Structure 1
Amino acid sequence: MDIIKLPGVELARLIKSGETSAAEVLEATLSRIKEVDQHLNAFVNLDVSGARTQARLADQMVADNAAEDLPALHGVPFTVKDLLNTAGVRSTYGSRAFAAYIPDTDAVGVSRMRQAGAILVGKTTTPEFAMKVTTDSLLCGITRNPWNTRLTSGGSSGGAGVAVATGMGTLAVSTDGGGSARIPAAVCGVLGLKPTLGAIPHETWPFHFGNNSTVSINSRTVPDLAAMLNAMSGAHPSDPLSRRLRRPVEIAKDPELKLKGKRLLMIPSMGGNTVDQEMLESVEAMLSLLASSGMNIEVASSDPIKFDSSIFSNLLTTNLAARVRSMTQQQQALLDPGLHQLLEGSGYHSDGVQLQQQAIERSRLYDRVETIFSEFDFIVTPTVTARPPPADSDGVQRVNIGGEMLPLSRWWIHLALANMTGHPAISIPCGFIGESLPTGLNVMAGWDSEQELLDLAALIAVLKPWMDRWPEFNV
């Protein structure tokens, strides 16, 4: 039994039945981190002492209780992106300005994972304030892709994607403010779910009503993803958008039957983007499999949503500028120069009318997406439009698409649509290109339709399994 390759729900079953122990699972995970992370740099810090204490308590609970009385993820290690607070464990947000910050309380999602029995192993890497789609920072250095260490892991939840892909923690709590959970999922070969806005309470950012970010999930298997979503979702007073009734998600016994006849719209040119040919062929091959399973597939020749990514860019920089303004001068001096450069544009100088115009445009975008969902059940794009760029970019943010070096935004910006409208979206592994580089299928569904996204992921897991394929990275 190779513990590090087992799904979280299976580990929980084995721990609760006494076939293995939480301590044994934890030590196997820590051993894997020691072996692998020196080459990939997925962790900011570990909580070894705290995790060992919790593992001992978990094993004592197994001795004292019936298996059915123990929580769903009892004894299973999990990781948390270093953008979310963890009580008693350093939380830096990827910034030197917060390098020594230790919160007193957990983020709601983290607290709920602990309540579900999971054991926090450590914090995974993020660029400063999650403001890049490559995971590197002055504080922590570069996080590398396990399939090819010369390439980026994606971001901003790069550490989460790498940890799941390599067995350094089977369950990863991440965030997604513009594709941040889905990009690493695609390039690392795992699942990345951005739930509906508010599905999982997200109180870390100080604005409740203008948010574009969600607490998200990276996992290798659909059952693990479902278990984490059920553990973390639900109303909480700290996030007004969470205060609605939600049903638990389930694993479909026959996802092909459930999805038969469902309508899927593929938009390859979302936001005016172009897609590299090998990436497009990988996605088209997956769509052919879905069509053969009884789904109705339609490909748009243009972008019917007319997604203008500048709306997202303006919102992102304005929100960040407001946060930076609240920092002390000493903290601001420690920020990455690239972050200051990003904010030198309109972010610092937006006026009230401009902000209201952004809100109106965001609402109109939502309306256009809802029009599509009146005819289709799913909207699909490639998760990223080309192979990942180099990890060591020396600040040059460009990507090769069809032999042309283009701004890095052309690699991912279409993903921000779901963040602007609040709809749930998932990146599902859909094959490999080139030298065994994973590809991902980005799928959006209607508000609170996570169940349908999980059904589709479960079907793809049957049609083209990815769960047992692991990277053999070159050191």
Structure 2
Amino acid sequence: MTEACDLTAVEARRLIGVRGLSAAELLQSCIARIEAVDPAVNAMVTRDFERARAAAKAADAAVARGDALPALHGLPIGIKDLQPTEGLRTTFGSPLFADHIPVADDRIVASLRRAGAIVIGKTNTPEFGAGANTRNAVHGATGNPFDPAKSCAGSSGGSAVALATGMAPICSGSDTGGSLRNPAAFCGIVGFRPTPGLVPNDRRLHGWSGLPVVGPMARTVADTALLLAAMASDDASDPLATTVHGMTVRRAAGFYPPARIDLSGLRVAVTPDFGFAPTERLVRATFAEKLGLFRHVFARAETASPDCAGTDGVFEILRSLGFLAAHLEKVRQTPELVGPNVRANVEEGLRYSAADVARAMTAQTAIYRRWQSFFQSHDIILTPAITVSPRSWRELYPADIDGVPTRTYFHWLAMAYAVTVVGHPAVSLPVGLDRNGMPFGLQIVGPRGGDALVLRVAAELEALLAGDIRTARPVPDMKVADRRADQRDARLSGL
């Protein structure tokens, strides 16, 4: 794939700025890729091509006039279908919103448009983001670009697939239990979970909860940092975006471009499971193989983990509170129109008492403080980004891992939600393929507030590993994927 749509976002933006590529040409290349490839994977479920063409024309006119150009000027972007877009169908993957057309943009979407991004369409997600398999009753399932018979994970699965196949150079995502990181790992792209409050999120009903965040997805670390820089702000609509009065704390220069860092000065902790995540033997073996190729570049790389005891229970209880706030009335009034994952979360939440919530919040604080002690002697943590290799999209979730039953439908996401519970930043970096020939993601976890550090380490590793086929970012062969028409028809005809 050597079309304009395969350029990195950074390079495409540079060419637009120097008139080496027009926004209209880039957009048309992305549209052509969507039309050629999306029938095989079902990632870009709602399209806005005509308005995008008008926006690209306006972007090129601004270049011709010599206007000051914003950071994302002329770059097509896919928006996750959980984020409302003015005049463009936004379903949340739910039959309740199958025909919903918002009258205004979500706050983050509006800021991305102001930064020059051109919305090309909406990317698929599970119903209300519940679950890490991107399938729903409105749009069907999204297939993995390396094998459409397999899951692309989720809930930002549509964005990950759109990026991996060149439908757009940047996409938005969100993350509670790994919804940015899991599909990034499954599809061979970069997904970054920022510190809560760094990217404003005014759709979070529990404004002081740090579990759900909005963040960037792209094919390279630099592209991800570019998008993050456009997303981050001191927006008072998000109560977690604490700042110093009269000062700008969150500024683009802090994230893009990622500054160089000497890996040989880093004290690294390596863990295949954080001491509790149910990690597949194949993933453990692949993780060890990949690390064996580069762990020597650090000052120290020891097998160690923060004490994560109690993380499962904390996440299960606190996660359920968000579902009660957002979906209790839907389950009560129209249960037949609500899927099994959402119903299960609401039913679970109703079983907990105020005492249970108090204990969970106390335990979360204790876990957080243990992490802070751990980071006094470690700079970063490296783990697999996900606990299993991609499985069939028909499997709603992994009910067992290596024959051992999982405790909930989201238990297999424990590698990701270990980080969510303590609010640390983390990125999933593509590091070649696993033993099944599917993408493998390395999770890089930073200290409290260490978003820029995580991106710097990721960028350095990306450059270091790019020259080795065993660790370079894999690229899907969409000619192979497109021949799987039978699976495509099954995805779209029903679940």
TM-score (norm: length of structure 2): 0.89
1:295 is aligned to 299
For residue 344 of structure 1, give the secondary structure of its aligned residue in structure 2: helix
Q: Give yes or no for the alignment of 1:344 onto 2:347.
A: yes
Give the alignment of 1:156-195 within 5 angstroms: 156-195=155-194
Counterpart contact for 1:389–1:399, Cα < 8 Å:
no
Counterpart contact for 2:271–2:303, Cα < 8 Å:
yes
2:476 is aligned to 471
Give the alignment of 1:306-345 within 5 angstroms: 306-327=309-330, 331-345=334-348
Distance 1:325 1:316 in 2: 13
Q: Tell me: CA distance 1:211–1:103, structure 2 relative to 1, closer, same or farther (3 Å).
A: farther
Distance 1:206 1:406 in 2: 29
Q: After TM superposition, give the deviation of residue 405 of structure 1 in Å.
A: 6.6
C-alpha distance after superposition, 1:380-438 (max 9, x if no partner): 22111221121112x4643543x667566453212112221111111111221234211
Give the alignment of 1:49-128 within 5 angstroms: 49-65=50-66, 69-128=68-127
Counterpart contact for 2:389–2:436, Cα < 8 Å:
no
Counterpart contact for 1:389–1:398, Cα < 8 Å:
no
C-alpha distance after superposition, 1:276-300 (max 9, x if no partner): 3432233224433443323310103
Q: After TM superposition, give the deviation of residue 17 of structure 1 in Å.
A: 1.5
For residue 154 of structure 1, give the secondary structure of its aligned residue in structure 2: coil
Q: After TM superposition, give the deviation of residue 12 of structure 1 in Å.
A: 1.1
Give the alignment of 1:68-467 within 5 angstroms: 69-244=68-243, 245-247=249-251, 248-252=254-258, 254-255=260-261, 257=262, 259-300=263-304, 304-327=307-330, 331-345=334-348, 347-393=349-395, 395=396, 397-401=398-402, 409-465=410-466
Aligned-partner residue type, residue 50 of structure 1? R
For residue 70 of structure 1, give the secondary structure of its aligned residue in structure 2: coil
Aligned-partner residue type, residue 266 of structure 2? K
Q: After TM superposition, give the deviation of residue 26 of structure 1 in Å.
A: 0.7
Distance 1:86 1:32 in 2: 22
Counterpart contact for 1:267–1:303, Cα < 8 Å:
no
Distance 1:295 1:287 in 2: 14
Aligned-partner residue type, residue 21 of structure 2? T
Q: Tell me: CA distance 1:396–1:436, structure 2 relative to 1, closer, same or farther (3 Å).
A: closer
Distance 1:53 1:358 in 2: 50
Counterpart contact for 2:331–2:343, Cα < 8 Å:
no
Equivalences, count: 467
* Deviation larger for 315-324 or 421-430: 315-324
For residue 238 of structure 1, give the secondary structure of its aligned residue in structure 2: coil
Distance 1:85 1:171 in 2: 17
For residue 215 of structure 2, give the secondary structure of its aligned residue in structure 1: strand
Distance 2:345 2:156 in 1: 20
Aligned-partner residue type, residue 165 of structure 2? T
For residue 10 of structure 1, give the secondary structure of its aligned residue in structure 2: helix
Distance 2:52 2:416 in 1: 35
Distance 1:80 1:19 in 2: 26
Q: After TM superposition, give the deviation of residue 331 of structure 1 in Å.
A: 4.6
1:39 is aligned to 40
Aligned-partner residue type, residue 114 of structure 1? R
Counterpart contact for 1:268–1:274, Cα < 8 Å:
no
Counterpart contact for 1:85–1:105, Cα < 8 Å:
yes
For residue 241 of structure 1, give the secondary structure of its aligned residue in structure 2: coil
C-alpha distance after superposition, 1:174-202 (max 9, x if no partner): 00011000000001001110000111001
Aligned-partner residue type, residue 367 of structure 1? R
C-alpha distance after superposition, 1:94-137 (max 9, x if no partner): 11112222223222222221111110111111111111011111
* Deviation larger for 348-357 or 442-451: 348-357
Counterpart contact for 1:217–1:229, Cα < 8 Å:
yes
C-alpha distance after superposition, 1:47-101 (max 9, x if no partner): 11221111111011111115xx211111010111111122222222111112222
Q: Tell me: CA distance 1:311–1:252, structure 2 relative to 1, closer, same or farther (3 Å).
A: closer
Counterpart contact for 2:82–2:90, Cα < 8 Å:
yes
Counterpart contact for 2:188–2:473, Cα < 8 Å:
no
Counterpart contact for 1:423–1:446, Cα < 8 Å:
yes
Distance 2:328 2:175 in 1: 23
Q: After TM superposition, give the deviation of residue 168 of structure 1 in Å.
A: 0.8
Counterpart contact for 1:380–1:441, Cα < 8 Å:
yes
For residue 91 of structure 1, give the secondary structure of its aligned residue in structure 2: coil
Distance 1:325 1:169 in 2: 35
For residue 265 of structure 2, give the secondary structure of its aligned residue in structure 1: coil
Q: Tell me: CA distance 1:280–1:251, structure 2 relative to 1, closer, same or farther (3 Å).
A: farther
Aligned-partner residue type, residue 101 of structure 2? I
For residue 30 of structure 1, give the secondary structure of its aligned residue in structure 2: helix
Q: Tell me: CA distance 1:455–1:311, structure 2 relative to 1, closer, same or farther (3 Å).
A: same
* Deviation larger for 263-272 or 47-56: 263-272
* Deviation larger for 272-281 or 364-373: 272-281
Counterpart contact for 1:282–1:430, Cα < 8 Å:
no
Give unmatched runs, 5+ long, in structure 1. Answer: none
* Deviation larger for 412-421 or 274-283: 274-283
For residue 371 of structure 1, give the secondary structure of its aligned residue in structure 2: helix
Aligned-partner residue type, residue 178 of structure 2? G
Counterpart contact for 2:308–2:418, Cα < 8 Å:
no
* Deviation larger for 86-95 or 242-251: 242-251
Give unmatched runs, 5+ long, in structure 2. Answer: 244-248, 485-495
Distance 1:78 1:180 in 2: 18
Q: Tell me: CA distance 1:328–1:409, structure 2 relative to 1, closer, same or farther (3 Å).
A: closer
Distance 1:355 1:82 in 2: 30
